[in-house]
Structure 1
Amino acid sequence: MADIARITGVSPMTVSRAFKGDSLIRRETREAILKTAEDMGYVFDSTASNLRSQRTGFVAVTIPSINNANFADTVAGLSEVLAGAGMQILLGYTNYDVENEERLIEQLLRRKPQAIVVTGGKHTPRARRLLENAQIPVIETWDVPADPIGHYVGFSNADAVRGMVDHFVRIGYQRIAFLGGDTSRDTRGSDRRRGFISAMKKHGLDPTRLIAAGTPPISMREGAIAMARLLSDFPDTEAVICVSDLSAFGALTECQRQGFSVPGRIAVGGFGNYEIADICVPTLTTIDARAREIGSRAGSLILGILDGGAQLDHVLIGPELILRQSSG
């Protein structure tokens, strides 16, 4: 800024005020300063100003997968709301690993975000202490934590799958299986599996048709492999609920490969309402978690807290069961 000030014949303070859009700076002066900065390739460093105001202008976010359409939609919804207030996000990728999440939370908090958004409500004890002591808004998403750290925006993954089981039973299916959710790495997947088991028991049906699908994120290929195992181990299965739409699409293709009609021979359900669910053949019955709304509601909650509004808020999102061709 001293170089720009010397070239334009003003003080460094005037340069700083021009970058901040101070209305007291004459338009001609500000334009000259900005042009000089552009010619020099200079980018205004707001760090010192942010330290004084205690506003860094960004929100830290952790997500378990960067190529998952649901989490991408959540980040997009969050980013859109924050951008309207001149804020940006700093993204951390956990790869469904709570130990990695702990390391990321520590690294992100060192950068002094104004808030932090984490995916899920289950963390290592140390990660939880870091969040509890952060003295900034903490938003847990995609879950309804048993013991919330601060705020949450989410839904019960178990209840969502219970609703799909109830529907399948209502339309006549009894021998129902669940594919995936077999590892503690994906706590939301595990909750979906748990919801399946409890719903089957409620209806007095066998809850043991459980097929492992591997380490998350579960791919289409892994879904196909798991479906082949299901058709071999439990050939009389009437319906299968998959932990995600990607695994469900893999299951659909395996049925086609083996000549099993869907839903004539076996019904298939997924989770997430990905774009592929609406264009595959047959189209896929699934659960819409309203991923983008989770992000936008989290963003609105953060802005309200930072503006001195909501002190503690829990936002419940209502997933929707989307009925399509794969369930009959």
Structure 2
Amino acid sequence: MDNNMTYKSAGVDVEEGQRAVQLMKRHVQSTFNENVLDDIGGFGGLFALNLDGIKEPVLVSGTDGVGTKLKLAFLMDKHDTIGQDCVAMCVNDILCQGATPLFFLDYVATGSLKAEKVADIVKGVAVGCKEAGCALIGGETAEMPGFYAEGEYDMAGFAVGIADKSKVITGRSIRPGDIIIGLKSSGIHSNGYSLVRKLLLEKEQMDLNSYVEVLNGTLGEVLLKPTKIYVKPVIEVIRKVEVKGISHITGGGFFENIPRILPEDVDAQINIDSWDKPEIFNLIQEKGNISLEEMYSTFNMGIGMMLIVSPEDKEDVLDILLSKGEIGFVIGEISEGNKQVKLCQE
């Protein structure tokens, strides 16, 4: 009887990891551009900076994960979109400083590595990178037996972008009378899923595969819809118009994210009747009897990103967004105050 211990007998399958690399390779390479200097498999990703037109380059970085939205991917055994969520959460954040994303790296950890599943995850990351116009230049896949439940994994990533120092968006120039333009979300994006799962799956016992007429799709399809990436239309706006502030509406909803870009002496007045809310938010609010303030403290409510501009630039911004396939809504105005978010209705 052979009692020799091996890494594989301890739960780590190196050969499966190598197979995963081969399966994900084409997805990774599909994001490469002329600035990427190496191929997948090196110890570090190499990226050559193109500084044309940039006088004082500033690198802007952001990191994030997907949160408990991953639980839905596990339940549905669907893993090819969750990577886009990870990319979106990072690139949308650095976009708020006016940065153009350059490259992205991901990290996936699991108890037992399945090559096809990891390749599906990375496929979603590659889709997100291409949507953001950045390269996936590296990452890490960790097999950690006994650390994660069977079939589960965690993932995170980080993005690096570039901006010209004189054009970094800080929010300092925001003044009363400025206009708030909201960009539609694709749905819940990647925040509030602990509440969603507790309410819809545990309390209401709803089936992820059941068709919900008011949602025009199955519950699982709607909940797993990937986070929208706003990079290309917003960068086009930034190139042509002075954008005073940008807010990515993520965890903490309106009340946490909007004040992050406001000066101390102004408020943001938000007209909550100025856009149509995706039906998933109405369903959540009704099923849970959730207050309006709690909804806007937790979810994006159909607005994934906000731009603050001068009134005279409003029409130009809306036109530029529309030319890039993005519909903007005038959802509010800046007023004198003390860095508060105030919800109002028509």
So what's the TM-score if we normalise by structure 1? 0.24
Bigger relative CO (Cα 8 Å, ≥ 6 apart)? 2
Q: Say which structure is richer in strand.
A: 2
Q: Say which structure is richer in helix.
A: 1
So what's the TM-score if we normalise by structure 2? 0.23
User: Is the radius of gyration larger for structure 1 or structure 2?
Assistant: 1
